[in-house]
Amino acid sequence: MEYKITQMKNAFYAQSGGVTSVINTSAYGVISELSRLDKSINVFAGQNGIVGLLENNLYDLSKTKKDLSLLKDSPAGMFGSCRYKLPELTEKEFYEDLFKRLDQKSIRYFFYNGGNDSADTCLKVAEAAKDQGYELSAIAVPKTIDNDLAVTDNCPGFGSVAKYIATSSKEASLDIRSMCKTSTKVFILEVMGRHAGWIAASAELANSSEDTLVHKILLPEVQLNKDAFLDGIQNDVTNYGYSVVVASEGLKNNDGNLYAASDSKDSFGHTQLGGLAPKLAQLIHNELKLKYHWSVSDYLQRSARHLASKTDLDQAFAVGVHAVKLALSGETGVMPIIKRVSNNPYKWEIGTGDLKDIANLEKTLPKEYISECGFRITSEGKQYLSPLIQGENYPEFLNGVPKYEQLDLFLSD
């Protein structure tokens, strides 16, 4: 297929997968850097991710009258996100149609902001463009609260979730402590994390050398030993008066199967998770006869912009900026990554990773971060986690709640 030859080079940006409290900051990094380096580039944002491109629903950001810096203060995906799996590269007609749509807008820069599955999408687009002779720089922009992207030290979105979980665990623990003498003995908080326990591990940051506020952390990397778990809960109640448990949704039985799973699957074939906290609570009630409460952090953990980590915001912006530099230098099929230079003082820089080393891979919690008993995080793990939650950057408040002003978005002609 022949594509038009033009001097104009526009850009496509889209958000994909589960959103975060800082993904819009990455969007601002991309859009502001494109404007700074080449004001002739018009940016089109996909309405609901790549689905917007496939359905001819693209926001023309040149029509937006509000200041795009509003993106930095708003959680979730300003342009809408999606979970959509692209077909294999053998589906030539699909990709011919996709590049035809890009060509109509003279789009030569493709930025896809997401996690593991989104990296796969971006890699397919990059490889298909090469196969079909379409001039395109396809750059993945990292984002995932799960912190499970390979190659990069950490992922934008995770630091803010870690801060939220550590804070919420600490506050809930103090609440339970104040009432445990005559009331609730066990509190269970269920957090996200299908195969990697980074989010649950962050609850360890609620603890200090002076005080233990989170007593048990359940990880997908450690199969649940029910007897050891129940013995531990009873010991916590005896020693502390109560027990606080933070459990990752991807917790597995000792046979390796998910402890709480349903028959539902998403478009990528992932099993629908949920219901772990009440199941654990029922186990504790049946075996130990202890009064319990449970909670599921769910979307609250990933949308809490009011408690976002400044480190996370800085890194989210930086990967967006670097993605543009990669695209304008002709790179494709790559992703900006975060490289840790030192722990104390914490220093980091932005590098580049090949999507072939990232797409569809998952980085789990290293063994050295998990305590010997399997229920806590080691000091080495805390040293890794702690810098990622540092600093505050509060959004503007109006009438006592965050303002979160949305952009005025208009679809392109």
Rounded-to-integer distance, Cα 238 and Cα 243, Å: 9
Active site residue 312: no
Judged by DSSP in three states, 53 sits in helix
Burial of 230 (0-12, 13-18, 19+ CB in 10 A): middle
Question: 14 phi and psi, to 5 degrees?
Answer: -150, 155
Judged by DSSP in three states, 144 sits in coil
Contact 258, 273 (CB under 8 A): yes
Rounded-to-integer distance, Cα 413 and Cα 14, Å: 18
Q: Which residue has the tokens 């004001």?
A: 39
Rounded-to-integer distance, Cα 37 and Cα 114, Å: 24
Q: Cα separations (Å) of 125 from 25, 283, 390? A: 24, 47, 36
Name the CA radius of gyration of the chain, rounded: 23
Rounded-to-integer distance, Cα 268 and Cα 272, Å: 11
Q: Which residue has the tokens 């989210």?
A: 316
Rounded-to-integer distance, Cα 355 and Cα 183, Å: 52
Which one of 73, 120, 146, 312 is the catalytic residue? 146
Question: 149 phi and psi, to 5 degrees?
Answer: -70, 135
| Residues forming the active site | 146
